[in-house]
Amino acid sequence: MPARLVAVVTAITALLLAACGGSPTGAAPPPSYDPPTGFGAPTGNLFGGSGTRVFGRDAASLPAALIGTAIWGTDGGRVLRTDSTGAEVPGPAAPAGRYAAGKPVATPDGAVLVGASSVVPGSGTTPPGLAVDLLAFDAQTGALRWNAPTQLPWADRPPAVAMKVAGVVAGVAVLTASTDAQRTAIGVDLTSGRVLWTADGVAVDAVLADGPAGGTALGVATAPGESRAYADSTIVGLDAVTGLRRSAPPDVLRAPQITPAGPGLAVVSGRTGATTLAAPSASLRFVDARGATVRTVDVGNTYSPPRCVWDEAATTVCGGDTRVFAVDAGTAAPLWELPDPRANRVAPRMTTAWHGAVYGTTVNGPLVLDARTGADRETRPGAAPVLVNAYLGLGAETSGVAGFGGGATITPAVR
C-alpha cells in the first residue's frame, strides 16, 4: 500500500477511535459523509472466530447497528459496543440472567434498545417460564437507563428465542420474541418504560407512523406450533399505542416478510398459496399504515421476492438475483429499474441503501448508485457494505465455510 494511503487510513482510524472512547473526552469527531461514496481499508472485524454465535452475514440477520461512530451488537447473549477496530468499549451490560439477542435500535432521545429473555424459575409442580425485557441503554455512556420486563404465555430456552425491536413510533417501541413455533409482540412506552400491551401469536416486523401521535405495528400471525416459514400466515395490523387490531392487507402468505419502505409505508411479500414446486408464485405489495395497498409489483415466477431496503430518506430500493428497482418512499411511485438493455446496463447485487445512495456489486466490483435516478454515482467505492452510516460501513465477509465464521468487516468512510 502506498505510504500516502497508509497515512490517510491511519489518521481516519485514530479519529474514529477518539470519537468512540479511545482517547480523552473532547477529541474532535472524525469527518462524516452523508452518504459516503468511498471506504478505506478495513480497520477491524466483528463476529469472527470460533467464539461467536452469529452465523448470518447479510443485513437482515446481522445483529448489529451503526450508531454514530460506534457499533452496537449482540452475540452469545451479551450486548456489545465497539469502536472502529472492533475492540469493545466498556459500558453496556444486560442485567444478570438476561440473554440479549437481535439488532439494537437507536431512539431519538439518545437511547439504544435491545431485547433480552430470561428463565422464570419454576416451583413445585409449576414448570419454569420465560420472561422478556426491553433494555434501554444510553448511547453515549452505555449505562442501562431502564428495562421493561414481562412474562410470556409460553416457554423455551433463552438462546433459542429470537428478539426483534421492530421500531419506535408515537413514543412506543415494539418488541417481538419468537421461536420457530411461538411468537409474542410487546408494546412499551418509552417515557415510563411500562409495558402497554402484548399480542400472543403475532410477530411484528415494522412500525409505521399514522399521523402526528399514532402508528401501526404491522406483523404476521401464525398458529401456535406452526412455522412461519411453511404454514399459512396472515398479515396483522395493531395500534402501536393500544395493541388493538387495525386494518391490514387480506393476504394469506407463506414465509411472509414485512419491511419498512418509508415512515408510513411498508413492503409485504411472501409466497402465495398457489405456489407449487413446478410453479412458484410470490407476492410483493406496498401498503400504508391503514392497511391499504398503495402499489402491487409483478415479481414474476419466483419463490423468493426481492429484498427491499428503505434508505431512511426518500427512496426504497428492492433487489433480487437479476433485478433492482426503486420507488418513492412516500407514494411507492416507480423511479427506475435495472437491468436496462437499451442503455447496456446490468443490475447490481444490492447490499443496502442509505440516504440517497445504493450500495452493491457487479462483475466489475463494488459500486454506488444514485437512489433517485439509478445512475452510477461512484464506480470505485472500495467496498459494498451491508450496513452504512456517515462514518462507517460494515460488510459481509465471505471467508470460511459458506460465508460462516469469517466475520463482518469494518471499513471507515473516507469520502
Q: Which pLDDT belongs to residue 275?
A: 58
Q: Which pLDDT belongs to residue 18?
A: 37
Which residue in 361, 329, 330 sits closest to 348, CA to CA?
Answer: 361
Residue 104, preceding bond cis, omega within 30 degrees? no
Instruction: Name every residue whose Cβ is closer than 8 Å to that of residue 4 and which is 6 or more positions away in sequence.
Output: none
Beta strand 183-189 with 195-200 is: antiparallel
Domain membership of residue 161 (yes or no) is: yes
Which residue in 365, 335, 330 sits closest to 351, CA to CA?
Answer: 365
Q: What is the pLDDT of residues 359-370, one digit of tens each?
A: 999 999 999 999
Instruction: Name every residue whose Cβ is closer than 8 Å to that of residue 215 and which is 6 or more positions away in sequence.
Output: 169, 170, 172, 207, 208, 209, 239, 240, 241, 289
Rounded Cα distance, 353 and 325, in Å? 12
Domain membership of residue 14 (yes or no) is: no
Strand partners, 154: none
Containing domain of residue 122, as a range?
Answer: 94-257
Rounded Cα distance, 84 and 13, in Å? 7
Q: Which pLDDT belongs to residue 396?
A: 72
Domain membership of residue 280 (yes or no) is: no
Average pLDDT over residues 50-74: 83
Length reported for the chain = 415
pLDDT surpassing 90 at residue 258: yes
Rounded Cα distance, 159 and 36, in Å? 36
Strand partners, 269: 257, 284
Asked if residue 229 lies in contact with residue 179, where contact means CB atoms within 8 angstroms, the answer is: no
Q: What is the pLDDT of residues 211-250, one digit of tens each?
A: 878 999 999 999 999 999 889 999 999 999 999 999 888 8
Rounded Cα distance, 349 and 34, in Å? 22
Q: What is the pLDDT of residues 287-338, one digit of tens each?
A: 999 999 999 998 877 778 899 999 999 999 999 888 999 999 999 999 999 9
Three-state DSSP at 100 gives strand
Q: Which pLDDT belongs to residue 58?
A: 64
Domain of 141, CATH number, reads: 2.40.10.480
Rounded Cα distance, 121 and 351, in Å? 43
Domain membership of residue 286 (yes or no) is: no
Q: What is the DSSP letter of 201?
A: T
Beta strand 252-262 with 78-82 is: unpaired
- Please name the helix (run of DSSP H) or strand (run of DSSP E) that holds residue 358, with its range, or none: strand 357-362
Instruction: Name every residue whose Cβ is closer than 8 Å to that of residue 153 and which is 6 or more positions away in sequence.
Output: 184, 200
Which residue in 161, 210, 159 sits closest to 186, CA to CA?
Answer: 161
Asked if residue 165 lies in contact with residue 103, where contact means CB atoms within 8 angstroms, the answer is: yes
Which residue type, as a one-letter code, is found at position 403? Answer: G
Q: Which pLDDT belongs to residue 53?
A: 77
Rounded Cα distance, 22 and 16, in Å? 8
Q: Which pLDDT belongs to residue 7?
A: 38
b/e burial code for range 178-192 (CB count within 10 A of at least 16 → b): beeebbbbbbbbbee
The model's pTM: 0.90
Average pLDDT over residues 241-267: 92
Q: Which pLDDT belongs to residue 298?
A: 86
Q: Which pLDDT belongs to residue 173?
A: 98
Half-sphere exposure of 184 (CA within 13 A, CB side): 19
pLDDT surpassing 80 at residue 51: no
Mean pLDDT of the chain: 88
For residue 275, what is its C-alpha cell?
405456489
Q: What is the pLDDT of residues 87-139, one digit of tens each?
A: 999 999 999 999 999 999 999 999 999 999 999 999 999 999 999 999 999 99
Domain membership of residue 112 (yes or no) is: yes
Domain membership of residue 67 (yes or no) is: no
Tell me what percent of the residues of the chain surpass a pLDDT of 90: 75
Give the pLDDT band of residue 25 (cuts 50, 70, 90): very low
pLDDT surpassing 90 at residue 164: yes
Q: What is the pLDDT of residues 355-413, one digit of tens each?
A: 999 999 999 999 999 999 999 999 999 999 999 999 999 987 555 444 455 678 999 99
CA dihedral 204, 209, 210, 215 (to 10 degrees): 40
Domain membership of residue 371 (yes or no) is: no
Q: Based on the number of CB atoms within 10 Å of its own CB, is 404 exposed (0-12), middle (13-18) or buried (19 or more)? A: middle
Instruction: Name every residue whose Cβ is closer than 8 Å to that of residue 226 and which is 6 or more positions away in sequence.
Output: 181
218 alpha-carbon distance from chain centroid: 15
298 alpha-carbon distance from chain centroid: 25
Domain total in the chain: 1
Number of neighbouring beta carbons within 10 Å of residue 221? 19
- The beta strand positions in 62-169, using DSSP E, are 64-67, 70-75, 78-82, 99-106, 111-120, 129-138, 144-151, 162-169
For residue 212, what is its C-alpha cell?
402526528
In terms of DSSP H, where are the helices of 300-407? none
Domain membership of residue 380 (yes or no) is: no
Average pLDDT over residues 26-48: 88
